[in-house]
Amino acid sequence: MIGSTDTPKVIHAEKDTAFLYKVSGNVDEMTAKLFVDPSEALPSKLDCLNKMPCEITYCGMQSQTYENNLRLIDSDLPEICAWMLLRYFTCGTSLISSCLKEITDANPMKYPLSFGQPFYQYKFKKLLVSSVLGMCPTKVWYADSALQSEYVIDTGNGEELHFSLLDRYKFEDYLLNNTQFESPDVKTADRGVLFESDKDWYLKLGLQIGYVR
């Protein structure tokens, strides 16, 4: 069974789900202190960086294993996830379906969208499916683990959804349309950590995806 009767997640945030961003620009001491202030909301902190102005660019992941897992699914997945995650924490776009529309409009990967092919949706579906079927940031994923004759999802609302192998596309569409980004618990994951390393500044954002309630 996928999920639990408590608080099922597609991707549960932990230290190894952190995405790293390089912050280019003059980060002053006041801004650095702002990021350790728990009373200040993360969108406000990120807005402060943008107004300085600072450029925030994806530069890697906390876990090389997890990054490799994502690139096995699709070579562009880390960059796609990083863009959507930053968008969520900056603008509050939590629904996966809505964020996919935004990244498609922005098209940061420069895909040839004029042919109508859903590049971003297709790639992100594969991430969601692999995640609910057991891919995690701490173990090497071989992809063939995703081959099952039946898929069962526990959404945490007292119901179980069953999908057969023939319903694979319905299963993928359900995940795409019923999941959302969530803010992880700061005790278990890096939700918004700004730190300095070798005179450069970096930002950590933790990835967590749950079901829409």
pLDDT, position 1:
31
d(CA 65, CA 139): 7
Whole-model pTM?
0.85
146: CB partners within 8 A, 6+ apart: 129, 130, 133, 134, 135
Least Cα distance to 43 among 155, 183, 173, 158 occurs for 183
**Does the residue 203 lie in any domain?**
yes
pLDDT for the residue numbered 133: 85
Radius of gyration of the chain (CA): 18
Place of tokens 């319905």: 170
Of residues 134, 129, 200, the one with CA closest to residue 167: 129
Q: Looking at the domain assignment, is residue 87 inside a domain?
A: yes
- Whether 4 maps to a domain, the answer reads no
Residue 61 placed within a domain: yes
Residues in the chain where the model's pLDDT stays below 50: 1-5
Give the domain range for residue 180. Answer: 9-211
The answer to whether residue 86 is domain-embedded is yes
Cα separation, 131 vs 196, in Å, equals: 31
Q: Is residue 93 part of a domain?
A: yes
What are the residues whose beta carbons fall under 8 Å from the beta carbon of 92, sequence distance 6 or more? 43
Whole-number pLDDT of residue 150? 61
Identify the bridge partners of residue 164 per DSSP, sorted by sequence position. 150
* 31 within a domain of the structure (yes/no): yes
Q: In sequence order, what E strands does the chain have?
A: 9-11, 18-24, 55-61, 150-154, 160-164, 179-181, 193-197, 200-206, 209-211
